[in-house]
Amino acid sequence: MQIEGTTAVVTGAASGLGAATATALVNAGARVIGLDLAASIEKASPVEGVTLVPADVTDETQVRAALDRAAADRPLRIAVNCAGIAPAQRTLSSRGPHDLALFRTTIEVNLIGTFNVLRLTAERIADTAPDENGQRGVIVNTASVAAYEGQIGQTAYAASKAGVVGLTLTAARDLARYGIRVVTIAPGIVDTPMLASFGPEVNASLAASVPFPHRLAQPAEYAKLALSIIDHDYLNGETIRMDGAIRMAPQ
């Protein structure tokens, strides 16, 4: 899929993986509409070519309005779902059972929000003319290695990301008739603002647990993989781990 001259939608674009991906897409010649919460956008550093639009990925009306803007003057071909939250709480602890509202919220944002953007973006992409190979667009989702090896306290997060992995192949099959590919990236430990809040000692310990290279992944490496997926027309229906060969321990 050619990136130059197209429009891309990136969720969670105000920071971390989303910001890195939005920047990489602009550098590759795309016009980018970045979705994020208003509070996150207020803290974001502006990037030329990236238009940040306040939108909650779980809200159909807000996402549709953002897509109207995205598809205004260039074909919408690309969507990258990076928005997500990562709360931690044990299924049962001395404080009692896992908070059900927190579990619901995590599923709502990480899984339902991803699917909401996927389905609405697919509708728009399907209306564009196909290229010479019959391809109309690409949707890249973000899961996590926690989908496979969730750690203690990650019940909600792991379940939400496993759901993203689970929908990938089926969505790719559903959208094949429209020439739309669907691929998911499952990152390992990435050096994002959320991870930085844990402090340098925790980060150093996490980096040491990666077989090779012995460091945290960088958001730019996620962006590089996302662009490689977009460029590679035969990648479809797959979840790709980007994790330095790590397999997460229970704790």
Give CA–CA dist 50/74, Å, rounded: 14
Per-residue three-class SS string for 3-37:
CCCCEEEEECCCCHHHHHHHHHHHHCCCEEEEEEC
For residue 176, give the DSSP letter: G
Residue 182's CB is within 10 A of a number of other CB atoms, namely 26
Query: For residue 157, how many C-alpha atoms fall within 13 Å in the half-sphere facing its CB?
Result: 19
The CA distance from 164 to 153, in Å, is 19
Q: CA 239, CA 169: separation in Å to the nearest integer?
A: 8
CA distance 135 to 137: 6
Structure tokens at 213: 């290279």
User: In angstroms, rounded to a whole number, what is the distance separating the alpha carbons of residues 122 and 175?
Assistant: 8
Which sequence spans correspond to the domains of the chain?
A: 7-191+219-241
Percentages of the chain per state (helix, strand, coil), in multiples of 5 = 45, 20, 35
Q: Active site residue: 148, 157, 178, 234, which one?
A: 157
Asked if 225 and 240 touch (Cβ cutoff 8 Å), the reply is: yes
Furthest-apart CA atoms within the chain: distance in Å: 60
Quickly tell me which residue has 């059972």 as its tokens: 97
- Is 157 among the catalytic positions? yes
Per-residue pLDDT of the chain (251 residues; tens, 9 = 90+): 899 999 999 999 999 999 999 999 999 999 999 999 999 999 998 899 999 999 999 999 999 999 999 988 889 999 999 999 999 999 999 999 999 999 999 999 999 999 999 999 999 999 999 999 999 999 999 999 999 999 999 999 999 999 999 999 999 999 999 999 999 999 999 998 777 766 777 778 888 899 999 899 999 999 999 999 999 999 999 999 999 999 988 88
CATH for 7-191+219-241, among 3.40.50.2300, 3.30.70.20, 3.50.50.60, 3.40.50.720? 3.40.50.720
Structure tokens at 47: 């990037």
* Cβ contact 103:156 at 8 Å: yes
In the chain, the N- to C-terminal Cα span, in Å, equals 40
